[in-house]
Structure 1
Amino acid sequence: MPRGKPLQQNPPANRDNDAPLQSIKDEVTAIKVERIIRESADLFFRNGYTQTKMSDIADSLGATKPFVYNHFDSKSRILIEICERGTRDALEAAETAIEGKTSPSDKFEAFVRAFANAVLDDYKFVLIYFREELNIPPDSAEKITQMRKRINKILLDILSEGLKAGAFKINDPKLSALIITGMASYAFAWYRGDGRFGKDTIIAEIVSSSLKLVL
């Protein structure tokens, strides 16, 4: 029997080559999702959630409604992401800011600065949450409430620690925590990013005022 060339088997799939391709696809998807969220937030901010239609979002993107629905199955899902993100960003910023800090004063200043910065960066998201709270599904509303409680708990622990150490002069840590987070949170109501005072100036003033409340 004549010897021929051995039959070549199909080469195994190169998983190492597939991984970068999947990574690129994920990055592209993330960019698309981010654009939808940002454009939707602008429209909800200017026109209100109820008045904004999915077709308005698609038109603002220069895309089609199927493009938007491919990433979000409803307008409600977009609202949920916007509202959850505003709180999630603030929580993550607060947790990260106090890492490695030892004294209550350092933790407090880092917390207030990071929290205020997150609120100003996401002021449209925060405003939409407070304005459209009744349109948020109960399970998402509860998730946001729990994140807000965690933020407040971080500050409460810092204030309690400072009071015990004699570093802070406050009567009630719980009340002080509510006042301080409320002061920073409410900046969404008047901050627009292009006013007389820049973000850094506003944050510095919030930090300074907060320190005066506890020292």
Structure 2
Amino acid sequence: MARTSGSHSEITGPRLRAVAQRLFAQHGYAAVSMRQIAAEVGVQAGALYNYIPDKQGLLVDLMTAHLTGLLAAWEDEPKGAGPLAQLESFTRFHIRYHLERPDAVFIAYMELRNLEPGNFAEVEALRKRYEKVLEDILRAGQAAGVFALPDSKLATLALIAMLTGVTTWYRDEGRLSRERVGDVYWAMVRQSVGA
């Protein structure tokens, strides 16, 4: 299929993803049509299929891009020595990374229900890889006697939910800076693991 006159793949592809991400976050995946996305991108609806296979493929692409970016960024993050330092690094990293991407975070968590089974498995595998990072830190802390936890898996899920929740209420113009939010959340995380 020929590209729409005047479109440029290096511009249109990223613009398509940015527009879809914003619309999915604002209105929900099910409520957004491909025609609506195309209109905002400035192309014919049929031209979108030069960049994506279908709407489901677009959703999966957005989710996997967010999660693979998250995992890659964590790999590059300084971790510190020992479980306590690693937990603090994880806490501050998670908040910082997610506050920069509230729409991507919303989609990655709230639109799981709209994934077809095979796509759900792909996205869930990436989510589990990230959860395992935190669970490994918590288990190491338990083994070293640094953390007192009744269940490391449950603690992992609870901490990630708490940390991710900051994207729903935080505003840059609010009373707390991002750094201060990180300090307060770190204190709460540390208390919650008994350190």
TM-score between the two structures when normalised by the length of structure 1: 0.74
Q: Against the structure 1 CA distance between its residues 61 and 199, is the aligned structure 2 distance closer, same or farther, given a 3 Å change threshold?
A: farther
- What pairs with 1:70-85 in structure 2 (closer than 5 Å)? 70-85=50-65
Instruction: Percent identity, please.
Output: 27
Q: Which residue of 2 aligns with 1:160?
A: 139
Q: Which residue of 2 aligns with 1:134?
A: 113
Aligned length: 187
How far apart, in 1, do the equivalents of 2:45 and 2:178 lie? 35
- What pairs with 1:14-93 in structure 2 (closer than 5 Å)? 29-93=9-73
Q: Which residue of 2 aligns with 1:147?
A: 126
> Residues 136-191 of structure 1, C-alpha deviation per residue, up to 9 Å, x if partnerless?
12122111211222222211111121222222233332232222112112334334
1:114 is the counterpart of 2:93: yes
Counterpart amino acid of residue 25 in structure 2: F
How far apart, in 2, do the equivalents of 1:191 and 1:76 lie? 30
Q: Which residue of 2 aligns with 1:172?
A: 151
Q: Against the structure 1 CA distance between its residues 70 and 122, is the aligned structure 2 distance closer, same or farther, given a 3 Å change threshold?
A: same
Structure 1, unaligned stretches of length 5 or more?
A: 1-27
Counterpart amino acid of residue 135 in structure 2: L
Largest Rg, 1 or 2: 1
Q: Which region of structure 1 is more displaced relative to structure 2, 137-146 or 117-126?
A: 117-126
Task: Provide the aligned C-alpha RMSD in A.
Answer: 2.4
Task: Quote the offset at 1:211 in angstroms.
Answer: 1.9
Task: Quote the offset at 1:120 in angstroms.
Answer: 2.2
TM-score between the two structures when normalised by the length of structure 2: 0.81
Q: Against the structure 1 CA distance between its residues 205 and 86, is the aligned structure 2 distance closer, same or farther, given a 3 Å change threshold?
A: farther
